[in-house]
């Protein structure tokens, strides 16, 4: 599965809006950074655990299979929301938000089984690595989190020219903590919330564009359409 940054969904065509919203972000650098994947044990042989229900598919990347098996702690052959959330941590060791984990599941659970199989996992893994590169690129001050200015720059580079008011709302919504948290993690937007913020902007913008058929920047919609768009976004 080939995945573009910030453009994980089915829709890859973009309108040339006056505000240029809707463009696809590009790869930033090749190094890994941001989120790390923790491997929590998971069925050591001879330790009372059930044997793996499934072996690697023929031709599977052995390293990728090893990662998959480490995340699949109950050896069911598929990764659940709970297993994925347990495996994903941010650079500051905070866990990914459930909403981000569910967003990742919904993007890559292409057969709608409710879990991530090995083939789906390959796409998910690459997607997270790609976002790590984006995150590293825009975390200019190497703080391990993204601030408002860095978020603005990232979105601008993806083609989303949001107004200062929208950027401020977005930052408030996705910032993990504030400067008032003396003993909390450093202020800023963690990796998982950065990915969610970008995907939310992309999803909402594309949904708006689909309603704005004459491309004048205005839409007419009823309550049902409005709620459907908003509740479908991550």
The residue count for binding its own copies (CB under 8 A) is 51
DSSP 8-state code for residue 216? S
Question: Residue 71 or 78: which CB sits closer to its own copies?
Answer: 78
- The CB-based long-range contact list for 5-14 (8 Å cut-off, 24+ gap) reads 5/130, 5/131, 5/134, 5/158, 6/134, 6/158, 6/198, 6/199, 6/202, 7/202, 8/107, 8/127, 8/199, 9/107, 9/202, 9/203, 9/206, 11/206, 14/159
Closest distance of CB 95 from its own copies, Å? 9
Exactly one of 72, 97, 130, 139 binds its own copies (CB under 8 A); which one? Answer: 97
Closest distance of CB 42 from its own copies, Å? 12
Q: Is 194 in the site for its own copies (CB under 8 A)?
A: no
Distances (CA, A) of 202 to 11, 20, 38, 106: 10, 12, 28, 15
Region near its own copies per CB under 8 A, out of 57-65, 109-117, 118-126, 135-143? 109-117
Compose the 112-131 pattern: x for residues touching its own copies by CB under 8 A, - for all others.
Answer: -xxx----------------
Q: Is residue 89 within a helix (H) or strand (E), and if so which, with residue range?
A: strand 88-89
Q: Which residues of the shown chain bind its own copies in the complex (CB under 8 A)?
A: 19, 21, 73-74, 76, 78, 80-82, 97-99, 113-115, 162-163, 165-166, 169-170, 173, 176-185, 204-205, 208, 212, 217-224, 226-228, 230-233
């Amino acid at each position: 599965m080939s995945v573009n940054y910030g453009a994980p969904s089915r829709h890859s065509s973009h309108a040339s809006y006056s505000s240029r919203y809707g463009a696809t972000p590009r790869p930033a650098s090749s190094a890994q950074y941001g989120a790390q994947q923790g491997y929590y044990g998971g069925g050591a042989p001879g330790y009372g655990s059930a044997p793996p229900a499934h072996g690697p598919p023929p031709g599977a990347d052995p390293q990728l299979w090893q990662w998959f098996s480490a995340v699949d702690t109950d050896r069911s052959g598929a990764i659940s929301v709970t297993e994925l959330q347990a495996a994903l941590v941010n650079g500051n060791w905070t866990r990914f938000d459930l909403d981000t984990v569910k967003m990742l599941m919904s993007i890559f659970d292409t057969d709608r089984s409710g879990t991530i199989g090995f083939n789906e996992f390959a796409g998910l893994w690459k997607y997270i690595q790609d976002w790590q590169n984006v995150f590293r690129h825009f975390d200019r001050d190497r703080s391990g989190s993204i601030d408002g200015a860095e978020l603005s720059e990232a979105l601008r580079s993806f083609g989303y020219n949001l107004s200062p008011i929208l950027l401020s709302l977005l930052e408030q919504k996705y910032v993990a903590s504030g400067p008032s948290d003396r003993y909390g993690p450093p202020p800023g937007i963690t990796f998982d919330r950065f990915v969610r913020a970008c995907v939310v902007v992309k999803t909402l913008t594309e949904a708006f564009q689909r309603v704005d058929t004459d491309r004048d920047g205005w839409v007419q919609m009823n309550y049902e359409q409005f709620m459907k768009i908003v509740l479908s976004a991550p």
